Amino acid sequence: MPLQPGLYRHYKGPEYRVIGVARHSETEEEVVCYQALYGEFGLWVRPLSMFLQSVEVDGEQVPRFALVQAEPDLFPRP
């Protein structure tokens, strides 16, 4: 499933920049590579399926990460 690179807000509030989707070398599972836009600006990966999940907040289903602003794809596919 394609994921738009750009700025995302985690349901708890912090913002992240999605760099792109990569594939695990052993399992071929798709993972999202993203950077925290706070603190030490660390790089993180998370399974794509988990990144796209909804979570329950105050009895309401909300996206774990919500797109704030799309950005150009740094690694477009041919």
Query: Is residue 45 in some structural domain?
Result: no
Query: Is residue 20 in some structural domain?
Result: yes
Split into its structural domains, the chain has a count of: 1
Which residues fall within 8 angstroms of residue 72, CB to CB, at 6 or more apart? 5
Which residues fall within 8 angstroms of residue 14, CB to CB, at 6 or more apart? 36, 37, 38
Query: Is residue 75 in some structural domain?
Result: no
**pTM score, two decimals?**
0.90
45-78: pLDDT as tens digits: 999 999 999 999 999 999 999 999 999 888 777 7
Find the CATH number of the domain harbouring 56: 2.30.30.320
Which range marks the domain in which residue 11 is found? 6-39+51-65
2-43: pLDDT as tens digits: 799 999 999 999 999 999 999 999 999 999 999 999 999 999
Query: Is residue 44 in some structural domain?
Result: no
Asked whether the beta carbons of 44 and 65 are under 8 A apart, the reply is no
Query: Is residue 46 in some structural domain?
Result: no
